[in-house]
Every structure is written in C-alpha cells, then in structure tokens.
Structure 1
C-alpha cells in the first residue's frame, strides 16, 4: 500500500480521523455549494416536519462523504444507521436493515454501487413507497408479503457513480458531487486539526502539507499526524523543516506523489515506453491491485496532467517525461506487453 493510501489502516487512524470530523455544516470546510444545498434541503424538511429527501454523495475517497452523512443525521436530529455496499450481498441483508429502522432514521450506505443487484431492486420500492415485498416459500408456492417501512432518509456514498444503475440514481432527491479541495481550503482543515490536537504549527508548514495532500482532507490530516510524530521523536517543533524531513521520510514529494504513484509512472515510461498500456498489465508490473491503481493512483496522475486515458490504455504525457528527465520515445511507440493488453 502507498504511504498515504486513503483507506484507514488501523483503529488508531479511525479514532484520529473520527475525532477531527466536523459535527455540523458550519464546521465543515470546503464544498461550499454542497453545504449550501444541503442546508436548504435540511431546513425545508424540518419546516415541513418530514424526513429529508434521499441523498447521493459522489466523489473520490477522503473528501467527506461519511462526514456529511453524519452531519445530515445531526442537523436533522435523527439517529444514524451505517452500513456498506459490500456488506449487503443479498436482498435479505437489506430487508433486515430496512425493517429495523425507526421513523426518520438516516441510513448511510457507503460504496453503494457495490450492493448486490437483488438488493438494489428491493431498494427501489423502499425509497419510493417505504415498502418492501418479502418472498416466502419457493417455486410455484412462493408468495409475496408486503411489509411497510418507517419513513427514512437514505444517504448513499459512491466513489464510482457511473456504476450505479439509472433507476437507483434517479430515486435520489439530491445528488452532490464532491470536488477536490484547493490548497487554501486544506490549510483551514489542517489549522482546525492542529488546534484540536494542541499542536503549534507555523503557517508555512501548513501550506506545505496542504500542497502535498492531493486535494484530499483525509490525506492532509494523515500527513499532519506524520509531521507531529516526526517533531515529537526528534524533539523539534512542527515547522517547515519538520514538514520537509517528515514527508521526505514517508516518500511524499513536493507534488504529493508517493512511492506507488512514481512506480506507476516509471513503469509506463520505462517498461512500456510511454504507453499505451492496459490496467491489468500496469497493476501486475507494480505489484498492486487493479482497483488501487484505478481508484487511487490514476485519478491523481490524470489530474496532475501526467497521465491520459485512451481507448488503447494509459499513456504518459509530455509533462511526465519532463518531470522525470527522460527523453520521449517516438509517437505511437508501445511496449511489447502493451500491444496484447486489454484497452481498459
């Protein structure tokens, strides 16, 4: 895994990130338009004494989807039930969750695009009519028993909204697309975190951490923790020098690229002569899972202008060649393995 992989790696990491989560929309930094839209939606529901519309939160990992779901429950003064798409692999799993909801409860399903298809189809009726049909028996003697549900608000989170079927996506009353953060917004996130941790940090140090955080608050908070650890061990303060030393130790360069990012770029440039190269071959060449490359590494490299996707596969840009000081190969050149790879 990369040194700044966005998936929490331990209970300590989860506790750290949980303690820093904003509790309401006022404390939430960034996503200005989404915050305003949610504020109107929640206030209107409260004024009409009804449950808020179902909400879909889409965007890359680490931008605050889970935090916003918690805020929806807090602002609505409702209990929160949390689950995930991979945990709902049968319609019965979803039926058990839905049937136990209390009136007005907020149900948060993370990675909702990974639910089983049978559960998705059950969710259609539950979201629209607050009712599900339970099949009893098998074969010709099977019967359908309708079960009324308490009104609830579903908050779904997805990192790949394109994988959601249209019938499910259309049943959400509000869809929010979360964007990567600007550096000045991440500085506010880091300042708040440093204050809560009672960690004195100089503004240049905060700016340096923010610039290396890939536009992601979760990564910014994690890098801040690494800087704090470095300063603690070396008996110093969290200044710019500590940031430089700590992030150098953890292989995070001045652009936010880590070991895995550089390994992917090196593989494309060296082994495949700039590409194109397919996802499975690229993942095998760096010893990582395809999902990690596709959801963590590739979006950042594309956003940095170092990688492009073509019908034939991934291709390094001129900026990638310049960044590594290598000489570009002839246009259209491909590595021998890339020629037989799948165009994903």
Structure 2
C-alpha cells in the first residue's frame, strides 16, 4: 500500500519525547487490526473526500491552497468541537494536502516545558505538529508554545537559580494543528496565535449516509440504502459512532443474517447493543428513567442523578448529558436537571401535572459543578 490509498495512519515510529510520526505506516481496513486501527483506516485522506462541515472544509481549503501557492507553511490551525466529528482526520488531511510529514502528540503528554522543547527541536521545515486536546497542556508548556508559534524559536534554560542561562534555539517554520473539545479552556494568548479557527458541528443525516456508504465500501460490506439510513439516524450526528455501529451491524449480519446490512439487520443489531430509535444508549435511558421514575421529572442535582444510575458525576455530565440536552430530552435549570415532555413521551410515561412547568425553567449555562 502507498500513501495515496484510501486508508488511514497507524503510529509505528515513536520518538523519545512521546510523539509519533503518523506517516510511518498506512494500514488496510481488512488487515485484521484492532478497532482503533480500523477506525483510522476509514478516515478520508483528502479534503475533497471529507463529507459534511462544508463551511470549515471550504475555509481550510482556501488557507491550504494559498499556502501552497506561496510556497510557505500555512497559518496555525485550531479545530474545536465535540468528540468524533473529524478533528484528527482534518489534521491528517492538512499534512496530506501539504504533502508534508505530521508529528502527533497530545496535551496530557506535555506536562513540562522540556517535553515540548524536545518535540519542537526535532521538527523539520514545513512539518505539521498535531496537538490533540491542546487545552490540557501545562501552563509552562503553553508559554513556550506561544514563542515557538510566533517567532519559531524556543528558549532553553540551562542551570538553576541566579546562574541560569536562557539559550535561544531557532526552529524551522512549521504548522501547529491544535484540536480541543473545550475551546473555552484555552488561554486567550494561545487562541490568538492560531491564524485559522474552525468549529465542527454535528453532522446531518444525509452526510452520515454518505460516510457510511464510503465506509461500507472500504470494509467490503454489502449494505442497502434502508439499512444505511437506519444506522445514520441513530448515530447522534457523529461519524465515529456511525462507523462503530456499522461494524456492529455487519457482525450481526454475518452471524445471524445473510451478510447484508439491511434495515432488518440494522434494527436487530442495534436493539442487541442497546441503541434505540433516538440514538439513546443504556446510560442515556438509565438517566432518563431515574429522572422521570424516581424523581418525578426533577429538578435534581447531577450528583444525586449519578448515584441513582450507579455512575460517577463526571460520566453523567460529560457522556450522557450533552446529547440529552441537545436533543431536548433534558434541561439544565438553576435547581438541577429536569426532564422535558419529550423524555416522558420517549419512555412511554405520563408526566405529572407540574412536569411541563419544570421543563421550561431558565436554562443554566454555567460551568460544571454549579448545579451539583
């Protein structure tokens, strides 16, 4: 296989600083690799093949084309949005479009300025540095990154105390692509150093259908339109979830069906894996069941709700709540979480008389913990 094949990247060459060269090896979706590698193999390799996100795609395409015509690295790129929408894929595409190597690391892996200095000093001219979860970098590393992004140099401190000396180290021009699920946690000086910022939104069902058709072809899975549409409608507007559900329906079709991903196979497989018609999984329904059956629709604090479903508060708040709020099953109020009329209807329950009033209390957009 060559870099031009419709496949994804796999990390093979690991550096001493914890980063890795994502261009080291390309893998085939049929190679028997684990799910992470198969998921990477389904990533589009070029911007023209990237479905959905038309605004971000067109803006990023303009930035990259202008950089190619100038013969210089493009401005630094910041990609934000919920998990699973394609931030890593776009970072890989940036490198592929520029025909430059890409170095991959993450914010949690860079907890000291020395960690970042080791990564930066090993970059070649024009190389793309992808920093996933960039908002989780340490403050010292962030301050070093400011200087590196703006002036392409880092100051290496030798010694300690009054005798410490800062030695400037010149860096070749490079491009940082940062990805974050919580753009609000990035300090303003760091955000301002990105020349292009793109926010990824959830995908329309038609775009997910396009993604699933392409994935089915790469996986050599026979799938008809009703089956693909059934999976797309339960995928929460997220390509990563859509591809995962496609593989599970494929498994069911191979074991219990006729090897074809059709509507019957999709419905049976998704029922087996606890994904209902609205895309709610076991945790989502457990939260709604507790909210409606045990607490009369709320309002109730998230910590109490988490105890009721046997999960940690952070799990309920970061995994289940965003989708339930976005789809109108639950609202955040100053007094706690409350069920909406749609939640009662979805569970087939009759709401108490005062439930509609609870569902329209003022929504609280405050930070985590306020409603605990």
1:212 matched residue in structure 2: 234
Give the one of 59, 64, 73 matched to 2:81: 59
**Where does residue 265 of structure 2 map in the other structure?**
242
Deviation per residue, 1:98-135 (Å, 9 max, x gap): 11111111000111111111111111111111111222
Moved more, 60-69 or 287-296: 287-296
Tell me the residue number matched to 1:201: 223
Matched, 1:96 2:125: no
Match of 1:292 among 311, 315, 339: 315
Distance 2:266 2:98 in 1: 40
- Alpha-carbon RMSD across the aligned residues, in angstroms, is 1.9
Q: Which of residues 295, 299, 310 in structure 2 aligns to 1:272? A: 295
Shift of 1:65: 0.4
1:222-259 per-residue CA deviation (whole Å, 9 max, x = no partner) reads 10000100011114222111111000000000000000
2:351 aligned partner? 327
State how far apart, in whole Å, the 1-side matches of 2:65 and 2:96 are. Answer: 12
Secondary structure of residue in 1 paired with 2:235:
coil
Q: Which one of 166, 175, 182 corresponds to residue 160 of structure 1?
A: 182
**Residue 135 (structure 1) aligns with:** 157
Alignment check: 8 A CA contact 1:112 1:156 kept: yes
Contact 2:291 2:298 in 1 (8 A): yes
> What residue in structure 1 maps to residue 22 of structure 2?
none
- Structure 2 unaligned spans of 5+: 1-31, 360-368
* CA distance, structure 1, for counterparts of residue 93 and residue 62 of structure 2: 14
Q: Which of the numbers 30, 46, 52 marks the counterpart of 1:30?
A: 52
Aligned match of 1:306: 329
Q: How far apart are the structure 1 equivalents of 2:216 and 2:33?
A: 20
Name 1:252's counterpart in structure 2: 275
Deviates more, 1:278-287 or 1:209-218: 278-287
Q: Is the 8 A contact 1:279 1:342 kept in 2?
A: no
In structure 1, the residue matched to 2:137 is: 115
1:11 shift after superposition: 6.2
CA distance in 2, matches of 1:152, 1:60: 26
Kindly state the Cα deviation for residue 322 of structure 1 after the two structures are TM-superposed.
2.5
Could you list the runs of 5+ residues in structure 1 that have no partner in the other structure? 1-9, 334-340
1:126 maps onto 2:148 in alignment: yes
Cα 1:289–1:109 shift into 2, 3 Å? farther
Q: CA deviation at 1:160?
A: 0.9
Give the count of matched residue pairs. Answer: 328
The residue number in structure 2 matching 1:146 is 168
Q: 1:273 touches 1:329 (CA, 8 Å); kept in 2?
A: no
Query: Aligned pair in 2 of structure 1 residues 88, 186: CA closer, same or farther (>3 Å)?
Result: same
- Does the 8 A contact of 2:234 with 2:279 survive in 1? yes
Instruction: Quote the offset at 1:275 in angstroms.
Output: 2.7
Q: C-alpha distance in 2, partners of 1:25/1:269?
A: 45
Say if 2:341 and 2:351, in contact at 8 Å, map to a contact too.
no
SS where residue 26 of structure 1 aligns?
Answer: helix
Question: Does residue 343 in structure 1 map to residue 367 in structure 2?
Answer: no
User: Contact (CA 8 Å) 2:147, 2:153: kept in 1 or not?
Assistant: yes
Q: Quote how far apart the aligned CAs of 1:287 are.
A: 2.9
Distance 2:87 2:313 in 1: 23
Higher relative contact order (CA 8 A, sep 6+): 1
Q: Partners in 2 of 1:119 and 1:285 — Cα distance?
A: 40
Secondary structure of the structure 2 residue equivalent to 1:175 = strand
Distance 1:19 1:310, change over 3 A: same
In the superposition, the TM-score normalised over structure 2's length comes to 0.84
Distance 1:98 1:153 in 2: 11
TM-score (norm 1): 0.91
